[in-house]
């Protein structure tokens, strides 16, 4: 399924048309292939993309912000390298994401400052990442073999503390060679080179890894898939590669529940100004049903404080 490489991997800002979203680490090829409503060619000129954005602003019928305010938001995005990356790619590359998640304490650009401090997608993702880290860390034991799919730069595993642990191994799986290259660089820089391996593979074709991992972490793929049956197939593949008794830690994007000024602003920035026009929300009920159909048991759902981007912990039966 994932064959077209556009740039480096993205961490996509999702949910621009609705009121919620999440930042997901994926290859750009993943995003391009899975987004049925992807609205522009990544190679299009900045000038053309800006013209399209200006036209969307002029055509916008809402009254939450004036057109002058919306044009200023676009100007501020384009005046900053991270903002420009979001605008052109409809997402962020792996090197820039830390700018938002880290809070950029010295940043003065009003639009980037708002993303760091107020954007629901950033706040939810920052919290979700912390939940993942806590749950991963407490399951890290001697002789553990963890996998990250899609791995991106694999910070989910490479930021874990392996002090005192013996015979740990991390495997990063991604279809984008550039993501794998950057993940390898990240592992080398963190001193984890000797405990890591990286494999190029499609997340829907993982038979080569059957019963290999004690834990699999997977963040982002399911929100790019419109068809529920295809998401269930993804869960079946992740189930397949876990050892009996193994654990899946993943997440999903829930339908928006709350309306706030920042959520409204986010909807306009991502949907009208940047032009993101796709997202796939799923309820907890549906997610539990899909995981059960895949074979998982003992499913635990941990919500972030905004109830936007829940973490899922699910077990493969021991026998």
CA–CA distance, 243 with 230 (Å, rounded to integer): 22
Are the C-beta atoms of 147 and 171 separated by less than 8 Å?
yes
Domain that holds residue 61: 10-123
β-bridge partners, 300:
313
Structural domain ending residue among the three candidates 123, 153, 186: 123
Are the C-beta atoms of 19 and 235 separated by less than 8 Å?
no
Structural domain ending residue among the three candidates 123, 144, 168: 123
294 and 174 part of one domain: yes
53 and 107 part of one domain: yes
Look at residue 267 and tell me if it is in a domain. no
Q: Write down the residue that tokens 């990544």 correspond to.
A: 42
90 and 183 part of one domain: no
For residue 110, give both structure tokens: 């009003």
Look at residue 273 and tell me if it is in a domain. no
| pLDDT for position 98 | 67
Q: Which residues contact 7 (CB under 8 A, 6 or more apart)?
A: 28, 42, 89, 93, 178
Q: What is the mean pLDDT of the chain?
A: 85
169 and 291 part of one domain: yes
Look at residue 179 and tell me if it is in a domain. yes
| pLDDT for position 192 | 97
| pLDDT for position 97 | 66
188 and 201 part of one domain: yes
291 and 173 part of one domain: yes
159 and 303 part of one domain: yes
Look at strands 10-13 and 23-26 and give their pairing.
antiparallel
115 and 132 part of one domain: no
Look at residue 274 and tell me if it is in a domain. no
110 and 148 part of one domain: no
CA–CA distance, 217 with 291 (Å, rounded to integer): 14
CA–CA distance, 219 with 253 (Å, rounded to integer): 10
For 241-308, the DSSP string reads HEEEEEEEEEE--PPP----HHHHHHHIIIIIII---------HHHHHHHHHHHT-EEEEEE--TTSS
Are the C-beta atoms of 150 and 29 separated by less than 8 Å?
no
106 and 129 part of one domain: no
188 and 306 part of one domain: yes
CA–CA distance, 158 with 279 (Å, rounded to integer): 28
Ramachandran quadrant class, 225 (left: phi over 0; alpha: psi -120 to 50; beta: rest): beta
| pLDDT for position 140 | 98
| pLDDT for position 29 | 41
In this prediction, the residues of the chain whose per-residue pLDDT falls under 50 are: 1-43
117 and 24 part of one domain: yes
> How many Å separate Cα 7 from the centre of its chain?
16
Domain count, the chain: 2
Look at residue 4 and tell me if it is in a domain. no
Per residue in 55-86, pLDDT (tens digit) is 999 999 999 999 999 999 999 999 999 999 88
Look at residue 107 and tell me if it is in a domain. yes
Integer-rounded Cα Rg, in Å, for the chain is: 19
CATH number at residue 149: 3.40.50.150
Cβ-based neighbour number of residue 285 at 10 Å: 8
Look at residue 260 and tell me if it is in a domain. no
Structural domain ending residue among the three candidates 74, 101, 123: 123
Look at residue 264 and tell me if it is in a domain. no
| pLDDT for position 218 | 96
Per residue in 281-315, pLDDT (tens digit) is 899 999 999 999 999 999 999 999 888 899 999 99
């Amino acid at each position: 399924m994932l064959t077209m490489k556009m740039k480096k991997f993205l961490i996509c800002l999702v949910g621009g048309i609705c009121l919620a979203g999440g930042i997901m680490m994926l290859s750009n090829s993943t995003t391009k292939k899975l987004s049925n409503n992807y609205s522009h060619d990544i190679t299009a000129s900045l000038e053309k993309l800006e013209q399209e954005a200006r036209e969307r602003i002029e055509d916008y019928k809402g009254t939450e912000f004036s057109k002058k305010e919306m044009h200023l938001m676009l100007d501020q995005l384009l005046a900053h390298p991270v903002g420009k990356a979001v605008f052109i790619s409809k997402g962020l590359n792996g090197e820039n994401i830390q700018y938002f998640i880290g809070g950029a304490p010295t940043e003065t650009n009003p639009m980037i400052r708002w993303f760091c401090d107020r954007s629901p997608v950033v706040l939810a993702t920052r919290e979700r990442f912390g939940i993942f880290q806590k749950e991963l860390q407490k399951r890290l034991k001697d002789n553990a073999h963890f996998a990250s799919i899609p791995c991106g730069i694999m910070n989910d595993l490479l930021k874990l503390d392996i002090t005192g642990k013996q015979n740990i191994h991390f495997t990063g799986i991604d279809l984008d060679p550039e993501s794998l290259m950057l993940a390898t660089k990240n592992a080398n820089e963190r001193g984890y080179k000797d405990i890591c391996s990286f494999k190029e593979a499609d997340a829907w074709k993982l038979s080569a890894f059957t019963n290999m991992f004690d834990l699999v972490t997977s963040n982002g793929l399911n929100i790019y898939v419109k068809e529920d049956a295809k998401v269930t197939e993804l869960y079946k593949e992740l189930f397949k590669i876990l050892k009996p008794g193994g654990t899946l830690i993943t997440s999903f994007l829930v339908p928006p529940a709350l309306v706030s000024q920042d959520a409204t602003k986010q909807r306009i920035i991502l949907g009208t100004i940047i032009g993101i026009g796709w997202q796939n929300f799923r309820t907890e009920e549906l997610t539990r049903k899909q995981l059960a159909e895949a074979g998982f048991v003992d499913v635990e759902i941990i919500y972030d404080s905004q109830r936007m981007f829940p973490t899922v912990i699910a077990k493969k039966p021991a026998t």
